[in-house]
Structure 1
Amino acid sequence: MTAAPPHGIAVHTDPPGGRRAVAVWGLGVAVYFVAITYRTSLGVAGLDATERFDINASALSAFSILQLLVYAGMQIPVGLLVDRLGTKKVLTLGVLLFTAGQFGFAFADSYAAALACRGLLGCGDAMTFISVLRLGARWFPAKRGPIVGQVAGLIGVAGNLVTTLVLARLLGSFGWTPTFAGSALGGVLILVLVLLFLKDHPKGYAPASVPHLEGGYVRRQIQRAWREPGTRLGMWVHFTAQFPGMVFLLLWGMPFLVEAQGLSRPAAGELLTLVVLSTMVVGMVYGQVIARHHTARAPLALGTVAATAAVWATVLVWPGQAPMWLLVTLCAVLGACGPASMIGFDFARPANPPERQGTASGIVNMGGFTASMTTLLAVGVLLDLTGGNFRIAFASVFVLEALGVTQILRLRPRAHRRENERVVASRVEAVHVPV
């Protein structure tokens, strides 16, 4: 017989992990990999898109803004759906939507049609990462959480390598429609694999039943997740750390390196690839450090934000075009933005029980993409207003970084106190629960 845990504290048996866990979770990560490839495909096709649809910088940024607006707006609904329906159903719907969006984008011959397809793609993309986090939580022990999360982000972001190394070259060789339509076939393949092999959880480790959506369930889930300081701190960490690298990779990196820094498109592509490679290396390092030293979470996140701001400022104030060594440094530092933003989930995860993980992850994930969307719009508008002055346009990065750091410093003590309370309560429960 087991005594009921105190209010707000739940005792859960960790799943065992193992090879089957790696295989099932790896399939979910493969979905995220494909979604990232589609999400970032416009990053190497921005200049081609301006010619194909005859648009200016603001209109070009609208592609990514709409995509991220849909993505950010879907995070809480997707989190609720994952908690209610499970991973497989949500991932299946996500694959259907982002594959349809990529196919449509391949054949779009008008700006409006292309815009609608990017919105559809963003809707499907929004369903992937939260589902993968939930999948990892259901198949691996909690102590593996930081590493599992970072590795998921690392492998997913490797989709950028497909974009910068493969898609960019295919676009130059075969043109718009064959490149985007051919890439959409990957979505068809992954859909078949998900339908055949993906499982929500190991046998015997089903999560606690979730009540029906009626009766205030949605409101309670959101309110309870939001009340936790760890959830809000996680959201602001994600907000502050992610967007500089995301904006650079998603849209404005290629135009900045080619038009403002005078690099060739192949050279610019190599620097974008460096951002991705840096993300992969830093992600592994951050995951290992946080798994062993939980107190390193905030210093790593704030240190990454400070380094990003310092290098950006150096590039923007450099007279004339920045030297190659400085651009390489910039891209290497921007690669740390994604892993640093993942630390936000490590604040939210211990603050919420398993049946609320999807909702909490949705709130956290909304942060970085809201910041990215805002910055994409700001850069596009400022470029048009200033006649293409990237120095002024990219200065908007510092405004959002300052806002985010202020919120992190405000919430960090509260989240730390609440987390310590939970640890103490869990230890007391472990001692007093009768066998």
Structure 2
Amino acid sequence: MTMSGSGSGGGGVLPRRAAVIVFLAFAFAYFLSALVRAVTATLAPTLAQEFSLHARDLGLLAGGYFLGFSATQLPLGTWLDRHGPKKVALGFLGVAVVGSLVFSAATGFSGLLAGRVLCGAGVSACLMAPLTGYRRWLEPVAQMRANSWMLMTGSLGMVASTLPVQWTLPLVGWRPLFWGLAVLIALSMVVIALWVPGWGSAGQPKADSSAAEAVPQGYGVVWRHPYFQRLAPLGFFCYGGMVAMQTLWAGPWMQRVAGYTALESATGLFWINVSMLCTFWTWGMVNPWLLRKGFGADRLMAMGLPLCSAVLLGIILAGPQAGGGAWALFCVACTFVSLSQPAVAMAFPQALAGRALSAYNLVIFVGVFVVQWGIGLAVDAFAAAGLATVPAFQAAMVVYLACNAGAYAWFLLRGQRHNVLTTPTP
């Protein structure tokens, strides 16, 4: 992948070898962050038994991660623009190490929750930091490839959190598992400290200081940007919904609608994550060719996102006949929306990239929370109205499908004539 040359993304780009090393350093940390994010789903039965947790406790425990994660996004963006990915990532990962140790030493629910909140806050820079750096260090085509392959390593982490963790638990237990995670996160800090260049360090060109000084402070310029406003509903409903299905609602659908056993459902989730891993790897391979053929992010999302709505409609109509394979196809079809992240970064000047990415990431994760909770509320509401379990799930998914359709319509209506990937902001 081409990572050197003048580039149109502004600033200076890294030589190919240095770029690969930087990518691997950040990818290792992001793999661990995804594993930490998803591992509580596998540990839920063990934790529920050991600490006598109710379903609401498990829900709050899972949400604690996203609470810590979301709370840091806005200050994170400002710090990334000011201090650069290396310093910010190292500071945040130190919090993740503490969070893992707190979780492993917990003697009650409050300790578990505190550990999860700290873990969520600590790994919240693991994707935004490299994407901010890629905006300055890589050419536009390489930014698209690196984004897809970062998401691939995240999918690999989620795969590792399922059956591999389940196989490991009887051998070592869950507390030593988190000791090991703390050690691995600390190791990732060492790798980043050694391999990732600092902002404007020796041999690395700085962004144009006069341009940086001209950029307004705060997030107002981000929220008001027409392209950000155009993509925000897609990030909220389509991207956030994809994560909500992948990390929560695909499982209950398989068990309560399709009649899967717990093991069959876990296996289905495993293959959903494997499918996502393979899809993001493929995106990274084909993006340069697609861009050369004139297929930028906007065009690909406009063409591809109706596919995920069509698949969701098929799942709704199929009902009990739609199992793990159908949900894997839905999540794979939704990956078109992942192209929006590097597109957002390239729509802004380098000095605003961190804030733009963090603001968009906040939109996505608020969407995850709202869709996860909203579907649960809708299922309960339709059940209270007299629908059986299967029709209640189908009706809730119809509501979600309507939200997706509305976000896609907004994206088309607010469309611009140019493609931000072929004319990135310098």
Residue 145 of structure 1, aligned match among 143, 146, 162: 143
Tell me: CA distance 1:310–1:119, structure 2 relative to 1, closer, same or farther (3 Å). same
Alignment check: 8 A CA contact 1:229 1:415 kept: no
Task: Give the corresponding residue for 2:3.
Answer: none
Tell me: CA distance 1:212–1:233, structure 2 relative to 1, closer, same or farther (3 Å). closer
Alignment check: 8 A CA contact 1:147 1:291 kept: no
Task: Give the corresponding residue for 1:350.
Answer: 346
The amino acid across from 1:297 in the alignment is L
Alignment check: 8 A CA contact 2:234 2:411 kept: no
**1:117, distance to aligned residue in structure 2 (A):** 1.4
Tell me: CA distance 1:402–1:347, structure 2 relative to 1, closer, same or farther (3 Å). farther
Alignment check: 8 A CA contact 1:138 1:205 kept: no
Task: Give the corresponding residue for 1:432.
Answer: none
Tell me: CA distance 1:49–1:425, structure 2 relative to 1, closer, same or farther (3 Å). closer
Tell me: CA distance 1:102–1:13, structure 2 relative to 1, closer, same or farther (3 Å). closer
Equivalent positions of 1:22-421 (< 5 A) are 22-200=20-198, 203-209=203-209, 218-219=217-218, 222-254=219-251, 256-258=253-255, 261-287=258-284, 288-289=286-287, 291-292=291-292, 293-294=295-296, 295-300=298-303, 302-314=305-317, 317-318=319-320, 322=321, 326-337=323-334, 339-379=335-375, 389=389, 392=392, 395-417=395-417
The amino acid across from 2:19 in the alignment is A
**1:360, distance to aligned residue in structure 2 (A):** 0.8
Task: Give the corresponding residue for 2:4.
Answer: none
Separation (CA, whole Å) in 1 of partners of 2:9 and 2:378: 52
**1:336, distance to aligned residue in structure 2 (A):** 4.0
**1:21, distance to aligned residue in structure 2 (A):** 0.8
Q: How big is each residue's C-alpha offset from its partner over 1:278-319, in whole Å with a ceiling of 9 and x where there is no partner? A: 11222234442553411533225522431452244145x33x
SS of 1:416 mapped into structure 2: coil
Which 10-residue stretch deviates more, 399-408 or 93-102? Answer: 399-408
Separation (CA, whole Å) in 2 of partners of 1:205 and 1:366: 29
Alignment check: 8 A CA contact 2:257 2:393 kept: no
SS of 1:100 mapped into structure 2: helix
**1:217, distance to aligned residue in structure 2 (A):** 5.2
Q: How many residues align?
A: 407
Alignment check: 8 A CA contact 1:130 1:358 kept: yes
Tell me: CA distance 1:303–1:103, structure 2 relative to 1, closer, same or farther (3 Å). farther
Higher RCO (C-alpha under 8 Å, 6+ residues apart): 1
SS of 1:158 mapped into structure 2: helix
Tell me: CA distance 1:384–1:425, structure 2 relative to 1, closer, same or farther (3 Å). closer
Which 10-residue stretch deviates more, 273-282 or 287-296? Answer: 287-296
What percent identity do the matched residue pairs reach?
Answer: 19
Separation (CA, whole Å) in 2 of partners of 1:233 and 1:352: 14
TM-score (norm 1): 0.81
Alignment check: 8 A CA contact 2:92 2:125 kept: yes
Separation (CA, whole Å) in 2 of partners of 1:110 and 1:210: 53
Tell me: CA distance 1:226–1:146, structure 2 relative to 1, closer, same or farther (3 Å). same
CA RMSD after TM alignment: 3.4
Separation (CA, whole Å) in 2 of partners of 1:397 and 1:210: 50
Alignment check: 8 A CA contact 1:275 1:331 kept: yes
Which 10-residue stretch deviates more, 202-211 or 49-58? Answer: 202-211
Separation (CA, whole Å) in 2 of partners of 1:143 and 1:137: 11
Tell me: CA distance 1:51–1:242, structure 2 relative to 1, closer, same or farther (3 Å). farther
**1:83, distance to aligned residue in structure 2 (A):** 0.6
**1:404, distance to aligned residue in structure 2 (A):** 4.6
The amino acid across from 1:160 in the alignment is M
Task: Give the corresponding residue for 1:3.
Answer: none
Separation (CA, whole Å) in 2 of partners of 1:341 and 1:377: 21
Which 10-residue stretch deviates more, 411-420 or 242-251? Answer: 411-420
**1:251, distance to aligned residue in structure 2 (A):** 4.1
Separation (CA, whole Å) in 2 of partners of 1:217 and 1:245: 33
Alignment check: 8 A CA contact 1:278 1:336 kept: no
The amino acid across from 2:344 in the alignment is A
Separation (CA, whole Å) in 1 of partners of 2:394 and 2:105: 32
**1:379, distance to aligned residue in structure 2 (A):** 4.9
The amino acid across from 1:370 in the alignment is V
The unaligned stretches of length 5 or more in structure 1 are: 1-9, 427-435
**1:108, distance to aligned residue in structure 2 (A):** 1.8
Separation (CA, whole Å) in 1 of partners of 2:74 and 2:112: 26
The amino acid across from 1:356 in the alignment is L
Alignment check: 8 A CA contact 1:231 1:347 kept: no
Alignment check: 8 A CA contact 1:240 1:401 kept: no
Tell me: CA distance 1:378–1:227, structure 2 relative to 1, closer, same or farther (3 Å). closer
The amino acid across from 1:208 in the alignment is D
SS of 2:208 mapped into structure 1: coil
Which 10-residue stretch deviates more, 305-314 or 352-361? Answer: 305-314
The amino acid across from 1:227 in the alignment is R
Tell me: CA distance 1:172–1:268, structure 2 relative to 1, closer, same or farther (3 Å). farther
